[in-house]
Copies of this chain bind each other. A is one copy, B any other.
Amino acid sequence: MGNFKGHALPGSMFLMVGLWWAGKSSFWYAARRKKSAGLLTSRAAQRRLEVIEGVTILSFSVIGMLAEQFAADGPQLHLYDYAEHQWDHLMNWQHATMYLFFGLAGGVSVAVHTTGSAPLALDRMLLGVAFFTEGFLFLYHLHGRAMLDIHIHQLLLYAIFGGAATAFLEVFHRGNVLLELLRASFCLLQGSWFWQIAFVLYPPSGVAEWDLKDHSNMMFITTCYCWHFAFSLLTVTVVYCTACWVVHSKLKRTPSMEMGLLKTTDKEQESEDEI
């Protein structure tokens, strides 16, 4: 899918997922701190939300896989072109493989949160595996391209492997809001960077094309990547502040009487051991 749409589409998807994760984590963390545990923050509600998230990821992955296979220029499940003695649409197969792992992560997340017969951390481990596989395929994806093309995709790898590392760390530090927000930031970074790639490599008509061999372009792109990261951090901050404000203003309207019924043995999960 070496075209504008092929980068803008995953970009939009990752942006939405990143926003969703930032919102979910912030809201739950704020609710937990304020102990305004209402309907939304109960364990059952959380579980239901996780299931919905898993189903959504699973459906989008299946749709993505089908689109890659049966779209106009897809391989339609043919792997080898016997007539021309070459592999058939390897790019599409690679993208379908990426979707496959995200689908696996989504499916397992649904299974974990509905049946409860597997350790909870499994959903994060498979999310980490999905991110890692995406990065792994991109890593061996860049042979023989122009310098800037390679560099701009390599920068993407930082966001992808950053997301994978964060998800793996969450296996051992589940519920740590900092890791969850960091993961959301990396996801947003990945999404906005896909858009940047689309604009750099396939500029809309009317805009001057980029010189893919100019070194100063490489230096600018590197700086630009940092701006995207700053932007994603700021977005997560804004989402977090909004969630805090919503929970806080909602709390005021809750009668204090109800508060006595809440358990106070809530163990705070983040490592907040100040001296």
Interface residues, chain A, with chain B CB atoms under 8 Å away: 28-30, 32-33, 43, 46, 86-87, 90, 93-94, 97, 100-101, 104, 108, 117-122, 125-126, 129, 133, 136-137, 140-141, 143-144, 158, 171-175, 177-178, 182, 215-220, 222-223, 226-227, 229-230, 233, 237, 240, 244, 266-267, 269-275
Contact = CB atoms under 8 A, between A and B. Distances in A.
A217 B240 CA distance: 47
30 contacts: A28-B275, A32-B275, A33-B117, A43-B274, A46-B275, A90-B216, A90-B219, A93-B220, A94-B219, A97-B230, A100-B230, A101-B226, A101-B230, A104-B230, A120-B272, A121-B271, A125-B178, A126-B233, A136-B226, A137-B223, A140-B219, A141-B219, A143-B215, A143-B218, A143-B219, A144-B215, A174-B271, A174-B272, A267-B273, A269-B273
Contacts of A175: 273-275
Given A171-B178, A216-B90, A223 B97 contact: yes
